Amino acid sequence: MLSPPLERAAIAGLVPHQGAMCLLDRALDWGTAHILCTTARHRDPAHPLRRDGMLPAVCGLEFALQAMALHGALRAGAAQPLGFVSSLREVALAVARLDDIAGDLRIEAVALVAEAGGFIYRFTIAGDGRDLLSGQAAVILARAA
């Protein structure tokens, strides 16, 4: 069964990034171990991560990390503590930039490990019918003292 889609305003209430840095437009589906989001923000000429008029593909990592944060919040039923990337593995870039991808980006993340102190996800960002960026990320959650 598909989860009800979430739009940008609802997403912004669950991820730590706000305003122009909230990079996801929609969460199309999610479950215990996965989330699928879309965005058109990569084409925004005022994108905060653009440099010299372009959005480097490596910035796609931030899209994927926000999808992971959103998934954690949806699983917990509330915004989670801030997370810190502890490792990136097997990151593969199939393109040099994202701003010239005509269609929306599809960001998919699958939880490999989810524990109280952090998580590990496998992620893929696709657009224009092909995979653009993929890899694995481990995130440690901050705890209030």
For residue range 78-88, what is the model confidence (pLDDT) as tens digits?
A: 767 788 899 99
Q: Is residue 49 one of the residues assigned to a domain?
A: yes
Number of folded domains in the chain? 1
What's the rounded Cα separation, in Å, for the pair 49 and 55? 6
- The domain in which residue 58 lies consists of 6-141
Q: Using a CB cutoff of 8 Å and minimum separation of 24, what contacts does 77-84 make? A: 78/14, 79/13, 79/14, 79/15, 79/16, 80/141, 81/141, 81/142, 81/143, 81/144, 82/16, 82/141, 82/142, 83/118, 83/139, 83/140, 83/141, 83/142, 84/139, 84/140, 84/142
Question: Whole-model pTM?
Answer: 0.92
Write the CATH number for 64.
Answer: 3.10.129.10
3-52 tens-digit pLDDT: 678 999 999 999 988 899 999 999 999 999 999 999 999 999 999 999 99
116 assigned to some structural domain: yes
